[in-house]
Amino acid sequence: MRALRHERTLSSWLIFLLVVTSLVTLGIVGSAILAVRVAQIARDTRESLGSEAGEMAERVEVLLGGIEARVEIFGDLARDLPAARLSTRMDELVDTGQIIDALYLVDENGVTRAASEGPLRHRRSQELVGADLSANPLFRDARSRGVAVWSDKYLSVISGRVAIGVGVPLADGSVLIAEIDQDYLLLTMRLASGASTAPMWLLDSRGEMLVDTGGEHVVGEGNLGDMLAVREALRGTAAGAPFSFRGRDYYLEFAQSGQIGWYVAVKAPAGLGNPQIRAAVLELLATFAGVIVIGALLAPLWSRGLIRALDSLTLRARQLADGRAQGEWPRGRVQEFNQLAADLERMAAVLSERERKFLAIFNASPVAMLVLDGSDDPVVLELNDAWARQFEFERSEVAGRCFSDLTLIDGQSARGLLAEALAAGYRQGEVIMSTHTGRVLTCAMSARAMQLDGRPVLTVVMEDVTEQRAMEHALLELNNQLESRVAQRTDALAQANDHLSQALTDLRTAQDDLVRTEKLASLGELVAGVAHELNTPLGNGLMAVTALADQLRHFRQEVSEGLKRSTLDTFVANVDMAATIAARNLNRAAELVASFKQVAVDQTSSQRRSFDLRDTVDEVLLTMQPMLKRTPYVLHNEVPSGLRMDSYPGPLGQVLTNLVNNAVLHGFDGRACGEIWIIASVDGPPGQESVMLTLRDDGLGIAPELLGRIFDPFVTTRKGRGGTGLGLHIVHNMVTQLLGGTVTADSWVGAGTAFYLNLPMRAPEPQA
């Protein structure tokens, strides 16, 4: 097998696994320790920031309280000073120490009594005297609360700049407002922070930036109230989580001054920007580097002992693969390697046993087999006993000899087949060979190429098919004889087929004749029944007319002798009775003749016309009445009136006649009573309506094994008793071919039979 491109020695793999295991272990443990350490540093940092923010808020209150006290003292002095002196003293206070940028006194009505921006702007300040500041939030808060109030950032009405002010209420109801220099606020924050180097913010109650000791903000600019951390601090719900500001993460803690209302925010870098977290990460990385160095030094020493025992096992396995003498496998102090040595020793024994079994099976095979090498003139490496027996050789006479030295009649073809098998992997064919005693054999030879110890070899199977080929030759001759016999039989079958075709034609002609005969017989029976039925009304009419003639002759005799009143009355009564009887019976005969004429014409002509289904069924039943009158069976016509059909009433009447006759002859055979129902209903969607005509009886029923064949010709249960087996066959042909419908049947043995005729309201046009 070709060596893998990236294979490595076991020693290098062991070193790699040791180092990787150490790094993974250290990585997991170190990451856990680092996560705990970072959380602890963050917690300590937030606690320190919170404490520092609270202290800063107290210091800011103290420092700004001094300014508030100065303003209150000046307010107490300002009550007793005249207006000219008040303006001068206000200029002096604004100019002293550069703490107060502007100062103005507002009376209780919100009107500016005096204002000052310093001596240099005295004239401009005087212009503001009399201005209405009653709507100023700082003025209103100081008046309403009655104590000094510090404002958020606002736009100064005196300087026109963004300012922060303090409003001090005076005893007379006026308010003294002082606007503080923003640079002084920055100086105040830095003085209050003392030795602390953490950046701090001073925010008003709305989140406006007042002071940034880190210098990242210009004083007086920026509203941080939209930042989540600041917004939560203003609401008192700060979570203490790191927040991002200008692309860097910070821990931020707030403290509010209860006296001033402002917020002091102290921030410290978060993540790797925090020196303590950065130092912890560097410590972990240094530990990783140390583990790599130590593992690289110790791993080779540790792996060398394992490799030594494994090399002994590898050497022993190589000796086994080369076929050298076997001995005990080496053992060591490693349990797994000892187990591997035991398993390899057992595997060697199993392989040896399998080799012996293979040789036993190879020699016991009933098929002749050879193993050849892959040279140009193949040499016999191995042969089985079957080959030696088949070709009558001793094993020692064949093993080690070239295949070409064996006696072959068709040797060139056999050697070519072996060469093709060696190139293509497999070939098969037939060769002629002779045994050691000169007996000629036909052999089916198949050769398959394979690799054995890296060398090509051929496995050759030679099956003796001499007898098989002889049998095939005999079968070929027999096949030729059979072909001649088959040709003769084919001619005989063709003649028989012609005779059968002629017989089938004659049979169909006879069947058509029988069908026509059945129709005529049905019509003849109908004629006989109608004739018998006509005999009664015509006889009654003839008798009435004959009696009337006798009465007339007797009346003439009475007239010649002398007419009496009683005689005239008797004659008139007899004439009336005779006329009534004659008229009633003649009308009955006329109705029978008309119905029979219509049915007879329809059945003989198969003319298409529009008709009412109820009337047609009545006419058919009327013509069948003479036949049914002599039976105890009752026929019910439940077809509703108004079902107009455009179809063939004659074939429909023939169908009904055959179905009724079938019920009487077969369904009621041997029964003293029975009933037949004819029912009709409309089925199908509008425009495609059809009539479902059902004829049902309560007779004997049809046997299940006969139900599927009742519409076939010549199927009857009355063979030899007058049954032709064509009645239902005629029904099926008329319904499906002429009327364009379908006919099906259901039967229940002992409970009766039902025929279902699904007929279109308009029959299909006849085909040419």
Look at phi and psi of residue 240 and say left if phi exceeds 0, alpha if psi is from -120 to 50, else beta: left
pLDDT in tens, 569-580: 787 877 877 788
What mean pLDDT comes out for the span 409-418? 72
**Contact present, 648 and 604 (Cβ < 8 Å):** no
What's the CA gap between 56 and 194, in Å, rounded?
A: 9
Residue of 440 and 79 predicted with greater confidence: 440
pLDDT band at residue 760 under the 50/70/90 scheme: very high
pLDDT in tens, 262-288: 888 887 787 776 777 778 788 878 887
Which residues make Cβ contacts (< 8 Å) with residue 559, sequence separation at least 6? none
Q: Which fold has domain 608-760?
A: Heat Shock Protein 90 (3.30.565)
Q: Please name every residue paired with 753 in a beta bridge, in sequence order, or none if there are none.
A: 697, 747
Lookup result for tokens 């930036």: 209
Question: Given this chain, do its domains 9-195+271-325 and 365-464 carry the same CATH topology?
Answer: yes
Residue 426 clears pLDDT 80, i.e. is over it: yes
What's the CA gap between 243 and 263, in Å, rounded?
A: 17
CB under 8 A, 24+ apart: contacts of 49-53: 49/198, 49/251, 49/252, 49/253, 49/266, 49/267, 49/268, 50/253, 50/255, 50/266, 52/196, 52/198, 52/253, 52/266, 53/200, 53/253, 53/254, 53/255, 53/264, 53/265, 53/266
What mean pLDDT comes out for the span 197-218? 73
CA–CA distance from 227 to each of 218, 238, 239, 551, 680 (Å)?
18, 12, 13, 139, 90
CA–CA distance from 154 to each of 151, 160, 161, 204 (Å)?
8, 10, 8, 11
Rg of the chain over Cα atoms, rounded to whole angstroms, equals 66
What's the CA gap between 64 and 72, in Å, rounded?
A: 13
- Tell me, what DSSP letter sits at residue 701? -
pLDDT, residue 125, reads 64
Residue 753 clears pLDDT 90, i.e. is over it: yes
**Contact present, 661 and 638 (Cβ < 8 Å):** no
What mean pLDDT comes out for the span 169-197? 77
What mean pLDDT comes out for the span 668-677? 87
State the helix-helix crossing angle for 649-662 and 613-629, rounded to 10 degrees. 40
Lookup result for tokens 């000899």: 401
pLDDT in tens, 8-41: 666 677 777 777 777 788 778 878 887 888 778 7
Q: Is the pTM of this model over 0.85?
A: no
Helix (H, G, I), strand (E, B) or coil at 221: coil
Residue of 97 and 507 predicted with greater confidence: 507
Residue 136: Cβ-neighbour burial (10 angstroms; 0-12, 13-18, 19+): buried
Domain boundaries, the chain: 9-195+271-325, 334-364, 365-464, 481-605, 608-760
Residue 424 clears pLDDT 80, i.e. is over it: yes
Please give the backbone phi and psi of residue 315, each rounded to the nearest 5 degrees, phi first: -60, -40
pLDDT, residue 658, reads 86
Task: List, as one string, the DSSP characters of 585-598.
Answer: HHHHHHHHHHHHHH
Residue 208: Cβ-neighbour burial (10 angstroms; 0-12, 13-18, 19+): buried
Residue 603 clears pLDDT 50, i.e. is over it: no
**Contact present, 369 and 455 (Cβ < 8 Å):** no
The whole-chain average pLDDT of the chain stands at 77
- Tell me, what DSSP letter sits at residue 460? E
pLDDT in tens, 498-556: 877 777 776 667 656 665 665 555 556 556 556 656 666 777 777 777 777 877 888 88
Helix (H, G, I), strand (E, B) or coil at 750: coil
Instruction: Fill in the amino acid letter for 203.
Output: L
- Maximum distance among all alpha carbons in the chain? 185
Residue 150: Cβ-neighbour burial (10 angstroms; 0-12, 13-18, 19+): buried
Residue of 603 and 696 predicted with greater confidence: 696
pLDDT band at residue 679 under the 50/70/90 scheme: very high
Q: Which fold has domain 365-464?
A: Beta-Lactamase (3.30.450)
pLDDT in tens, 373-408: 878 778 888 888 888 888 888 877 787 788 777 766
Instruction: Fill in the amino acid letter for 116.
Output: S
pLDDT band at residue 691 under the 50/70/90 scheme: very high
pLDDT in tens, 609-645: 899 999 989 888 887 777 777 788 888 999 999 999 9
What's the CA gap between 197 and 199, in Å, rounded?
A: 6
**Contact present, 717 and 706 (Cβ < 8 Å):** yes
Q: Which of 138-142, 171-175, 596-600, 764-768 has the lowest mean pLDDT?
A: 596-600
Q: Which fold has domain 9-195+271-325?
A: Beta-Lactamase (3.30.450)
pLDDT, residue 218, reads 42
The gap between the terminal CA atoms of the chain, to the nearest Å, is: 84
292-317: buried (b, 16+ CB within 10 Å) or exposed (e) per residue? eeebeeebeeebeebeebeebbeebb
What's the CA gap between 347 and 125, in Å, rounded?
A: 112
